[in-house]
């Protein structure tokens, strides 16, 4: 499961594999797990016990099976906490202003991962999954980040991407994606106009860290019916303003071009 030719401690690696088993299974037994990763039952047992002692796994005494533990959740909430603490008030303000669902994502190689969302209270609204992962090329947030990467970085990503045509409007080739990104870069924001899902429009702007690298983004998503052109433009303006403020708080200094 581990990648590089780097040094890897076998037992730790196996323990992490065990945790991963629970991604698609709420409850698993020792034997079940040991079969999933091809370990001896007693080997798996030792690893599982260690995880349990640390509350990364919890044992269901009624079934004898295990599930993910609360400590894993608690530790997970500590990831990228500065960004989240800084950004969340802005997300809330955006929802208050526009009554549409707002998201905060960070980049993870070719994907964006949804870190936080604040939902509008409307009945018809866009609902994404915190902890979810989507390809960069078909999301406004992904494009907002990509459009501000250095040429080399961008190239490297584009070359490794596999494009899937989610809708008629999905941008599916490197060429047109690069053109579109160039426009976004000039505008300072990106749009996803039903490129992932028909009926869904997103607008996003990038967040920079103190190395001046765009690594995160904020988006606002709504149904096409409510997202007319002037509204979108207004939203974009606010997003740009807010993401700049967030970037500043993270230590970003606007470069002189």
Is 69 within 8 Å of 48 (Cβ atoms)? no
C-beta of 73: minimal distance to DNA in Å? 22
- Regarding 11 and contact with a second copy (CB under 8 A), the answer is yes
CB of 178 to a second copy, least distance (A): 25
Nearest approach, Cβ of 46 to DNA (angstroms)?
Answer: 5
Minimum separation from the CB atom of position 170 to a second copy (A): 24
Q: Rank residues 171 and 218 by Cβ distance to a second copy and give the closer one.
A: 218
Stretch that binds a second copy, among 1-9, 184-192, 224-232, 247-255 (CB under 8 A): 1-9
Q: State how far the Cα of 158 lies from the Cα of 152, in Å rounded to an integer.
A: 10
Interacting positions 87-126 with a second copy (CB under 8 A): 92, 95-96, 106, 108, 113, 115, 118-119, 121
Q: Which is nearer to a second copy, 104 or 171 (CB)?
A: 104
Q: What x/- string results for residues 129 through 158 when contact with a second copy is judged by CB under 8 A?
A: xxx-x-------------------------
* Burial bucket for residue 10 (CB in 10 Å: 0-12, 13-18, 19+): exposed
- 114 contact partners, CB below 8 Å, separation of at least 6: 103, 104, 105, 128, 129, 130, 131, 132, 133, 134
Picking from 195, 196, 228, the residue whose alpha carbon sits closest to that of residue 98 is: 228
Q: How many whole angstroms separate alpha carbon 107 and alpha carbon 90?
A: 19
């Amino acid at each position: 499961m581990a990648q590089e030719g780097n040094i890897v401690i076998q037992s730790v690696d196996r323990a992490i594999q065990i945790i991963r088993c629970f991604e698609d299974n709420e409850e698993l037994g020792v034997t079940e797990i040991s079969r999933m990763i091809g370990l001896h039952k007693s080997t798996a047992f030792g690893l599982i016990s260690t995880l349990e002692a640390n509350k990364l796994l919890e044992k269901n005494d009624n079934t004898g099976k295990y599930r993910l533990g609360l400590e894993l959740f608690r530790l997970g909430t500590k990831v990228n906490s500065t960004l989240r603490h800084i950004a969340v008030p802005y997300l809330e303000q955006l929802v208050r202003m526009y009554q549409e669902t707002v998201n905060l994502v960070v980049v993870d190689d070719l994907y964006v991962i949804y870190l936080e969302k604040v939902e509008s209270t409307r009945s018809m609204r866009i609902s994404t999954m915190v902890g979810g992962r989507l390809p960069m090329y078909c999301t406004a947030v992904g494009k907002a980040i990509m459009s501000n990467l250095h040429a080399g970085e961008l190239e490297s990503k584009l070359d490794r991407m596999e494009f899937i045509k989610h809708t008629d409007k999905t941008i599916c080739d490197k060429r047109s994606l690069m053109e579109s990104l160039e426009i976004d870069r000039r505008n300072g924001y990106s749009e996803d106009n039903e490129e992932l899902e028909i009926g869904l429009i997103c607008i996003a702007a990038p967040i920079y860290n103190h190395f001046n690298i765009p690594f995160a983004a904020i988006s606002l998503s709504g149904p096409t019916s409510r997202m007319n052109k002037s509204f979108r433009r207004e939203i974009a303006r606010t997003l740009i303003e807010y993401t700049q403020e967030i970037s500043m708080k993270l230590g970003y200094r606007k470069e002189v071009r």
